[in-house]
Amino acid sequence: MMHVSRFRSSQVLTVILVAFAALLFEPSTGHAAESAEEAGLRIANEARESQRGFGNFTASLEMILRNKRGQESRRELRIKVLEVADEGDRTLIVFDRPRDVRGTGFLIHSFKRKPDGQWLYLPSLKRVKRISSSKQSGSFMGSEFSYEDMGTPEVEKFTHRFLRTERCGSRECTVSERVPVNKDSGYSRQLIWMDGEHRTVKVEFYDRRNAHLKTMVAEDYKQYLGRFWRAGRLTMTNHLTGKSTELLWSDYEFGTDLDAGDFTSAALRRVR
């Protein structure tokens, strides 16, 4: 009887130790006891750190706009991006085709703790128009991407909360919620799926009334310089209108001859 009692006591002790270990460690993230907010912030920071140091790059873009009947219109664009230490990126987008938008330029100065600076150059008017923070929830050039979507999603622009891990295709993804700090944001919250390589797989966007407004899916990732992952395809679907916009990325080139002078409103007037 004493042997059986000791055996049962050993079982009870094992259960207690396992339960205690479960309290100390978060099984979904593999880190010592974190709150959901701490885990969400950590995941976002790890993703940012994994992509630091690219310097600058240029790329070509094809924008495909589809209405709810599947009819398409296409645009060709160029993009330049400059990394800025301790701040958000600088981005310049130029439209080349079709003829009615040729020469249109869009400049973004992304910031960590204040709304992005955004300027649009309209060649027909020969002037630069600043996009105010309160207007950045509007459609970018008739697409399903908003002006807000075109900026860099800096970690500090959101509060973060880890929700769960789940399968996304053949991969395991973390699912986190991020809530915009800017009260002018067009979104109440966003859900982001990220895989083990810190690549964004999907983002769900919820409007100010918390309705599921849009979903963006990122696909066809390639790695550049042995470190930097970039998607080859971004698809934004508007669930209220049935419209979608696809961005096809190509011709990435890193380490180009770019500097801060290429990302000013004066430079925006000179786009060709």
Largest CA distance in the chain: 95
Rounded CA separation 207/190 (Å): 9
According to the model, what pLDDT value does residue 113 have?
86
According to the model, what pLDDT value does residue 271 have?
78
Judge whether 83 and 89 are in contact, CB under 8 Å.
Answer: yes
Q: What is the pTM of this model?
A: 0.86
For residue 199, count other CB atoms closer than 10 A to its CB: 19
Three state DSSP letters for 172-214: EEEEEEEEECCCCCCEEEEEEEECCCCCEEEEEEEECCCCEEE
Write the pLDDT tens digit of every residue in 141-193.
999 999 999 989 999 999 999 999 999 988 899 999 999 999 999 999 999 99
Continuous H helices in the chain? 2-24, 36-50, 147-150, 265-269
Q: Write out residues in the chain with pLDDT < 50, as ranges.
A: 1-2, 4, 6-7, 12-29
According to the model, what pLDDT value does residue 24 have?
39
In the chain, where are the structural domains located? 1-33, 48-269
Distances from the Cα of 121 to the Cαs of 106, 136, 151, in angstroms? 6, 15, 17
Question: For domain 48-269, which CATH number applies: 3.40.640.10, 2.50.20.10, 2.60.40.10, 2.40.128.720?
Answer: 2.50.20.10
Element containing residue 62 per DSSP (H, E): strand 56-66
Give the DSSP letter string of 153-177.
--GGGEEEEEEEEEEETTEEEEEEE
